[in-house]
Structure 1
Amino acid sequence: MAPTLRRVVALAPLRLRVRAGKDALERPVRWVAVSELEDPTPFLEGDELVLTTGMRLQPRDARAYVSRLVGRGVAGLGFGVGLGHESVPPELVEAAAGAGLPLVEVPRETPFISIGKAVSEMLAAERYEELGDAFAAQGRLTRAALRAGGMAAVVRRLAKEIHGWAALFDETGSVLHAVGDGADEGVAAVRGELGRLRAPGGAPATLALSGPHENVIVQPLGDQRRVSGFFAVGARRPFSPVGHTVVNTAGSLLALSMEHRRERLAAVRRVRAAVLRLLLAGERQAARETLVALPGGRAEAAFMEGGPIVVLACDPGDAEELQDALPGFTAPWDELVIALVPEAAAGPVIETAARDGRVGVSEPVDLSSLGTGLDQAQRALASAGPVMRFPDLAGQGLLTLVDPGLLSGFAASLLAPLREYGSRADLVESLRAYLACNGHWDAAAQRLGIHRHTLRYRMRRVAELLGRDLDDPAVRAELWVALAAPAPGPR
C-alpha cells in the first residue's frame, strides 16, 4: 500500500507546508514527478506528487493548470518557492482550493530530489512490509496444510487471511469445505462459473468477479489435462498484491492436497475391488480383515454378518459418495460401481444411486451366492430404464435353463468381432441400447447420449463386422441372448 500524502507532508526534514486541500491528504502517493511543462499530464499515470517551480506558469493559467492535474488524478501539487516565485501565487492557491487538490509549498532549502528520495524510501518500506506480511501468511497456510484434515484447515486459514470466505470444491463441483462470513451465498454465486470451467473444451482459467459489495476469485486446481477440483474466495475489499499472493499460495497447497486425495481414493478403490474379489472367491475372513484396515471399514464390514444382501450395479460414479450415503459396501468392478447392501436398507440406497444414473438390482442373495447376485445386477443394468430389478426382466427365466458355461462361450464367440474392433468398445453398448429399444433410433441414441446418425453408423459397422442382418428377428434374438449372458469377472 502506497504512503499517503499526509505521511509525506508530516516528514519534518522536508519542511513542507500545506496551502490548500487539507481534507484530501489521505490520497496515496505512488511516485514523485518533477515538471516545468505547462501541461505535464501526458507524462503522468495518476497518484503522483507533481513538483514544479512555476517557471512557465502564468497566474491567469492557474485554474486550467490545476484542472488538468485533477483530471489526470494526481495525488497533489508541490510548489517550490524562492526561485521563479518568492511565494505561491494566490491564483494557484485559490484554484487548488476550489478543485480540492492538495497544494504543498516547498521551501528553497528543500531540494526536490529530497522529496523523491523520501517517497521512494517509504514505498520500499511499504513493499518490504507487504512482503513480510505475505511470507507470514504463507507460513500460516503451510502450517495449516500440515495438520490433520489439512485441506479444511487451509480453507479456514485462508478465509481469515483475506477477511472473507473461502470454499473448496471437488472436480464435480460438490462442496468439500466452505468457511467464512457469506460462504453460503458465495458458493451459490460461483456454481454457474464452475459449470463453465468444467464445460468440454474449456481450458482451466482463473476467474475474477467484481461487484459493488464483493470481489471473488475462482481458481481450478490441477492442469489442463486433469482438473482435480476448484476453490473460490470472496472479500468485500479488492484483493491487494499481498492478497493475490496469499490466494495463489493457498491454491498451490490445495492442489497438492487434492492430488494426494485423488491418489488416496484410487488406492482405496483398489482395496475395495480386492475385497469384492475375495468375497466372490469365498474368502470371507480375508475380505473382512482387508476391509477393516480401511478407515471406517469395521462398521462397514457388518453387512457380512447379517442376513440376505442385495447387489446393485451402478453407472460409473464416485463409490465413496454412495458409501457415505447409506449403510453397505461399494467397490469398482470393471467400469461399474457395485454396492452390497443389507436387504432391509436396499430401498433408500437404490434411490440414491438412481439420482445420477442407472442401477441394476439383484434378488436378495446370501453372501455365499454373491456371484449369482453380481451377475443378476449386471444383467438388470444392461436393460432399459433408470432402475431395473432382475426379477422384473422379461425372459430371465429362459436364460437360467442354459448352461452358463456354454452360454458364455456362445456370447464370447458371437460378439468377439465387436470387442476386437480396435478401441471401439462402444459398439457393444450401442448394440445393447439399440436392441433394448427395439430398434428405435431416437430412443436408443438418447439413451446413449449420441446423435441418431452416429448410432446408425455404428449399427452399420456392427452388421458388417458380424456379417448379419440386424433387421432379422432371429439375429436380434441371438444377439440379445449373447448380450444377456453372464459376464466373466475381471482377469
Structure 2
Amino acid sequence: MTVVPTLRTVVRRLPFQLVVLAGQDAMDRPVRWVAVSELEDPTPFLEGGELVLTTGMRLDAAGAAPYVDRLVGRGVTGLGFGVGLGHDRTPDELVEAAARAGLPLVEVARDTPFVAIGKAVSDLIAAEQYDELSRAFTAQGRLTRAALRPEGPPAVIERLAREITGWAVLLDDAGVIRHAAGEGAPEAATRALGPELERLRRLAARGAPASLALSTPQEHVIVQPLGAGRVRGFLAVGRDRPFTPVAHTVVNAAGSLLTLAAEHGGRHLAAEGRVRSAVLRLLLEGRVRAGRETLERLGERLADGPLVAIVSGVPEEEREAVLEAAGEEFAAVEGDRVVLLVPEDRVDGVLVRLDGHGPVGVGSPAGPEDLRAGLDQADRALAAARRAAAPVMRFADLAGQGLLSLLDPGAAAAYSVALLAPLRQYGPRADLLASLRAYLSCNGHWDAAAQRLGVHRHTLRYRMRRVAELLGRDLDDPAVRAELWVALAVAG
C-alpha cells in the first residue's frame, strides 16, 4: 500500500491559490495522482484516487451534474477547476452538483499551472514515502535492540505492542500463550483467534504456513507463523484501528526477529538434546562420572542420591513439549521415548507438568549406578499404561498386581491356550483343569487339595497322573508348576 498525501494536505501545503468550494467533509481522501483532462468523460482513463484538473472547456450547465456523477462513480478523490480560460469563475451548477455528491471541488487560480500542481503532488508523495520509510527503519532499530536484550523474545513483544499502540502475543506451536504485552493482550488474543489458530496449524502441518488478518469495527488483528522449514510458534498483534503501512512493516520486522530467535533456540536445543542423549547412554553404561562431567559442561548437574526414571511415550512431534515440561530436571530423548531422571521428592510435581502429554511410566528409585534397572522398570510401566489406556503407571503399583501384569496379554493368552489344550480336549472331563488348579493352589499338598475339591485324595492322585501324561510334564518340577500356574491364571 503506497503512502500518499490527503487532499487536505495538498491544499494546505502547496504554495498555490487553491480555494475549496464543496466537499469540505471529504478532504481527507488520499490523492494518488493528478490527472489533467478536458474530456466530457475522462473516467475510462482514470483508476480512482486522482485529483482531476480541468478548465471546463467542454462543460456546460446541463452537463455539470452528469460529469460529477461519472467522477464520483470512478472513485476520484477530488476535482480541481481552473478559472481564467473557459470560465471566469467556477460554474454554480458544478459547485451545487459537487456539494450534493460530496465530491471535493477546488478552484485553481489562472496563474497556477496544472503541471506545477502535478509536480508538487508528486513531491508530496515522495516525501510521505520517505517519512514512512524513516519511521519504519527507526522502529526496526528499536525492535532489534529489544531482541538483543537478555530476555530476547519477551522484550520484542513488549516493544512491538508499544510501536503499534496495541497488543502483541507470542504463542508456541500448540497455540499456548508464552508472552503477552499490551492492555488485555491474553484475553484479546484468545477472543480474536478462536478456531482460526487451529486452521493455521493445519495449514502449517501440510507445509503451507500462512498469515491471517481479521478485522471488525472494534479490532484489527494480524497473525503470522514463526519458523523456517516448520512452524515453531505464532505472532499475533491487534489494535483498535487498521494497520498502516508503517505498522505492517514493524510487525513483519518483529516476525523476522522472532523467527530468528526461534530457529536459533531450536538449533541450540537440538544440540543440547544430543548431548543429553549421550549423557544418558553413559549413565546407563555405568559410566556415572563421565556422564556427570559431560552434563556439567552444559551448566547443569545430575541430582545426588536415588533417581526415579520417568518415561513418556509421546509421538516425535510432541517430544519438544515434554522436554519443556520437564523444566530443570534431566531429560533426554532415547529411542522412541523421552526419559527423565528425577529425585524421588520431585516426581509428583513432574507428573503434574506431564499431564496431557501421553502415557507415562514411572520406575522405582535407583542409585546412579543402577539406572538401567530403573529405566527397565519405567519401560515396563509405560507398556502397562498403554495397554490399560492409563495416563500414568508406576512400577511399584504394577509389581503389586503380580507377575501377570508384566506379560504381554496376547502372548500370554496364546501360551495358555496351547499349554492347556490337551486338558480341555480330554472328553468331558473338565475336572482335570479344576483339579490341577486346586493342586497347585495348595502347593502340591494332597489332603488339602482333595478337601478343597471334595474328593478322595486317591482320586486326586489319579487325576494328576492323567494331567502329567496328557501334558508330558513332571508336576514335581517347580518350573513346570510355575508355568502351569501362569497358564491357569491367564485362562481365568
Common topology (TM > 0.5): yes
Q: Please, which of 265, 270, 274 is the counterpart of residue 274 of structure 2?
A: 270
Q: Aligned pair 1:69/2:82, yes or no?
A: no
**Which amino acid in structure 2 is aligned with residue 212 of structure 1?**
P
Residue 401 of structure 1 deviates from its aligned partner by 13
Q: Is the 8 A contact 2:227 2:233 kept in 1?
A: yes
Aligned pairs (5 A) from 1:366-405: 366-383=367-384, 384=387, 385-386=389-390, 387-393=392-398
Residue 177 of structure 1 deviates from its aligned partner by 1.7
Equivalent position of 1:411 in the other structure: none
Residue 397 of structure 1 deviates from its aligned partner by 6.3
Q: Is the 8 A contact 2:7 2:28 kept in 1?
A: yes
Equivalent position of 2:227 in the other structure: 222
Residue 128 of structure 1 deviates from its aligned partner by 0.8
Q: Aligned pair 1:290/2:294, yes or no?
A: yes
Aligned pairs (5 A) from 1:324-403: 324=327, 328-383=329-384, 384=387, 385-386=389-390, 387-393=392-398
Measured against aligned partners, the alpha-carbon deviations of 1:21-56 in whole angstroms (never above 9, x if no partner) come to 334323222211112222323333332211111112
Residue 372 of structure 1 deviates from its aligned partner by 0.8
Q: Is the 8 A contact 1:314 1:360 kept in 2?
A: yes
Inter-CA distance 49–313: structure 2 relative to 1 (3 Å threshold)? same
Measured against aligned partners, the alpha-carbon deviations of 1:218-240 in whole angstroms (never above 9, x if no partner) come to 111234x4222221221222222
Equivalent position of 2:251 in the other structure: 247
Equivalent position of 1:466 in the other structure: none
Residue 117 of structure 1 deviates from its aligned partner by 0.7
Inter-CA distance 436–266: structure 2 relative to 1 (3 Å threshold)? farther
**Which amino acid in structure 1 is aligned with residue 310 of structure 2?**
L
Residue 359 of structure 1 deviates from its aligned partner by 0.6
Equivalent position of 2:304 in the other structure: 304
**Which amino acid in structure 1 is aligned with residue 252 of structure 2?**
N
Equivalent position of 2:471 in the other structure: none
Inter-CA distance 344–436: structure 2 relative to 1 (3 Å threshold)? farther
**Which amino acid in structure 2 is aligned with residue 380 of structure 1?**
A
CA distance in 2, matches of 1:278, 1:345: 23
Inter-CA distance 473–178: structure 2 relative to 1 (3 Å threshold)? farther
Q: Is the 8 A contact 1:155 1:178 kept in 2?
A: yes
Residue 116 of structure 1 deviates from its aligned partner by 0.7
Residue 121 of structure 1 deviates from its aligned partner by 0.6
Residue 144 of structure 1 deviates from its aligned partner by 2.0
Q: Aligned pair 1:195/2:198, yes or no?
A: yes
Inter-CA distance 401–28: structure 2 relative to 1 (3 Å threshold)? closer
Gapped regions of structure 1 (runs ≥ 5): 403-431, 439-469, 476-480, 482-491
Inter-CA distance 33–12: structure 2 relative to 1 (3 Å threshold)? closer
Q: Please, which of 206, 209, 227 is the counterpart of residue 204 of structure 1?
A: 209
SS in 2 for 1:176: strand
**Which amino acid in structure 2 is aligned with residue 371 of structure 1?**
R
Inter-CA distance 101–362: structure 2 relative to 1 (3 Å threshold)? same
CA distance in 2, matches of 1:236, 1:48: 29
Q: Aligned pair 1:126/2:95, yes or no?
A: no
Q: Is the 8 A contact 2:398 2:406 kept in 1?
A: no
Query: What fraction of aligned residue pairs are identical, expressed as a percent?
Result: 59
Which segment drifts farther, 33-42 or 116-125? 33-42
CA distance in 2, matches of 1:151, 1:401: 47
Aligned pairs (5 A) from 1:62-211: 62-188=64-190, 189-190=192-193, 192-199=195-202, 200-201=205-206, 203-211=208-216
Q: Is the 8 A contact 1:168 1:178 kept in 2?
A: yes
Measured against aligned partners, the alpha-carbon deviations of 1:254-306 in whole angstroms (never above 9, x if no partner) come to 111111100111122223223323333444444344334435x35xx4x324x
Q: Please, which of 20, 23, 29 is the counterpart of residue 21 of structure 1?
A: 23
Measured against aligned partners, the alpha-carbon deviations of 1:141-186 in whole angstroms (never above 9, x if no partner) come to 2222222222222222222222112222223333232212232123
Q: Is the 8 A contact 1:166 1:178 kept in 2?
A: yes
Equivalent position of 1:53 in the other structure: 55
Residue 10 of structure 1 deviates from its aligned partner by 2.6
Q: Is the 8 A contact 1:50 1:78 kept in 2?
A: yes
Residue 132 of structure 1 deviates from its aligned partner by 1.1
Structure having the higher Rg: 2
**Which amino acid in structure 1 is aligned with residue 304 of structure 2?**
M
Inter-CA distance 57–219: structure 2 relative to 1 (3 Å threshold)? same
Q: Is the 8 A contact 1:14 1:114 kept in 2?
A: no
Equivalent position of 2:12 in the other structure: 10
**Which amino acid in structure 2 is aligned with residue 233 of structure 1?**
V
Equivalent position of 1:313 in the other structure: 311
**Which amino acid in structure 2 is aligned with residue 207 of structure 1?**
L
Q: Aligned pair 1:323/2:332, yes or no?
A: no
Residue 312 of structure 1 deviates from its aligned partner by 1.2
Inter-CA distance 342–113: structure 2 relative to 1 (3 Å threshold)? same
**Which amino acid in structure 1 is aligned with residue 326 of structure 2?**
Q
Cα root mean square deviation, aligned: 3.0
Q: Is the 8 A contact 1:173 1:191 kept in 2?
A: no
CA distance in 2, matches of 1:473, 1:231: 59
SS in 2 for 1:14: coil
Query: What number of residue pairs does the alignment pair up?
Result: 406
CA distance in 1, matches of 2:324, 2:412: 31
CA distance in 1, matches of 2:411, 2:353: 24
Measured against aligned partners, the alpha-carbon deviations of 1:163-210 in whole angstroms (never above 9, x if no partner) come to 112222223333232212232123313253332222242511111112
Residue 381 of structure 1 deviates from its aligned partner by 1.0
SS in 1 for 2:48: coil
CA distance in 1, matches of 2:255, 2:50: 35
SS in 2 for 1:60: coil
Measured against aligned partners, the alpha-carbon deviations of 1:444-491 in whole angstroms (never above 9, x if no partner) come to xxxxxxxxxxxxxxxxxxxxxxxxxx899559xxxxx9xxxxxxxxxx
